């Protein structure tokens, strides 16, 4: 039986990823099985990555108001960029690769290989937090990273930019749907597919770019979906009934029109005449005498 490869945009809840708090869908007895590949302080990583470029940028500014005192805060308050991004990767689902099952263990091993090769594939995505969760329904990998664009002519020479970072990795967006992120995600899913196949998985292409949900969010979304489906079914029944009534009304109107023609006053009926002016057939007076 085939399994799916999923790549999703995550919410970026570092405290949840590191189990500083546990959602309802977390089995705490299995939390110790989680694999933490890296867990660095985001602010410290910003200093490590951007301080040199920030100092060079500020050195060129003569006015204090044009300088950036803290790049972390600068990006945090930005409307164009985010401090970091999260992607979540998964093989299969709870039915075919559930945690604690042999296939779940194989999926975890494949995800581990994928995680360990992530930096090599993505030199411009600085990972600061990466965790493989084994304490939920299905093994899945959270990857949190900063998109780092280098050799830039605008702003800092090394700065935060998802678009430019992915462009430097060879991904170019085409229109609104095929963005750099979408192209990158497809490439990562292809990489995970190849790794999963090396672990003897048969892959079917049903992965999707959907947000990752914890159990309460999933239940709420499922309830909303069921409500919409029920409303849709009710509307379809109502439309069918209206169409039935419309067809019935059409039949009634047709019968009324036919009856109206039959009941037309006799004197309104103009008889057909011959060339000499004589009435063909019987006259109205003759009909009324019947």
Q: How far apart, in whole angstroms, are the C-alpha atoms of residue 62 and residue 60?
A: 7
Query: In this predicted structure, what is the pLDDT of residue 211?
Result: 47
pLDDT digits (tens, 9 = 90+) for 77-129: 999 999 999 999 999 999 899 999 999 999 999 999 999 999 999 999 999 99
Phi first, then psi: what are they for 198, rounded to 5°?
-70, -20
Q: Say which residue the tokens 């672990």 belong to.
A: 199
Higher-confidence position of 249 and 272: 249
Q: pLDDT confidence of 67, banded at 50, 70, 90?
A: very high
Q: What is the 3-class SS of 92-152, one letter each residue? A: CCCCCCCCCCHHHHHHHHHHHHHHHCHHHHCCCEEEEEEEEECCCCCCEEEEEEEEEECCC
Residue 270 has pLDDT above 70, yes or no: no
pLDDT, average across residues 21-30: 80
For residues 271 and 279, the answer to whether their CB atoms sit within 8 Å is: yes
Give 27-51 pLDDT, tens digit per residue: 888 989 999 999 999 999 999 999 9
Confidence of residue 52 (pLDDT cuts 50, 70, 90): very high
């Amino acid at each position: 039986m085939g399994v799916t490869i999923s790549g999703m945009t995550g919410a970026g809840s570092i405290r949840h990823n590191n189990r500083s708090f546990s959602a309802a869908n977390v089995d705490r007895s299995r939390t110790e099985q989680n694999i933490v590949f890296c867990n660095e302080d985001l602010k410290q990583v910003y200093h490590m990555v951007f301080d040199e470029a920030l100092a060079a940028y500020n050195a060129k500014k003569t006015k204090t108001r044009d300088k950036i005192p803290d790049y972390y805060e600068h990006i945090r308050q930005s409307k164009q960029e985010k401090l970091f991004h999260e992607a979540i990767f998964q093989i299969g689902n709870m039915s075919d690769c559930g945690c604690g099952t042999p296939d779940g263990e194989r999926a975890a091993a494949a995800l581990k290989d994928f995680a360990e090769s992530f930096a090599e594939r993505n030199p411009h995505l600085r990972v600061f937090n990466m965790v493989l969760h084994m304490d939920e329904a299905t093994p899945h990998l959270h990857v949190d990273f900063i998109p780092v664009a280098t050799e830039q002519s605008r702003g800092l020479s090394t700065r935060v930019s998802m678009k430019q970072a992915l462009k430097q990795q060879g991904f170019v967006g085409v229109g609104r749907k095929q963005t750099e992120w979408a192209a990158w995600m497809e490439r990562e899913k292809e990489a995970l597919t190849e790794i999963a196949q090396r672990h003897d998985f048969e892959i079917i292409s049903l992965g999707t770019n959907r947000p990752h949900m914890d159990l309460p969010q999933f239940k709420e979304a499922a309830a909303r979906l069921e409500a919409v489906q029920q409303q849709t079914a009710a509307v379809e029944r109502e439309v069918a009934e209206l169409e039935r009534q419309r067809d019935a009304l059409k039949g009634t109107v047709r019968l009324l029109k036919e009856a109206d023609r039959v009941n037309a006053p006799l004197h309104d009926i103009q008889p057909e005449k011959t060339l000499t002016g004589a009435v063909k057939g019987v006259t109205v007076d003759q009909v009324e005498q019947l």
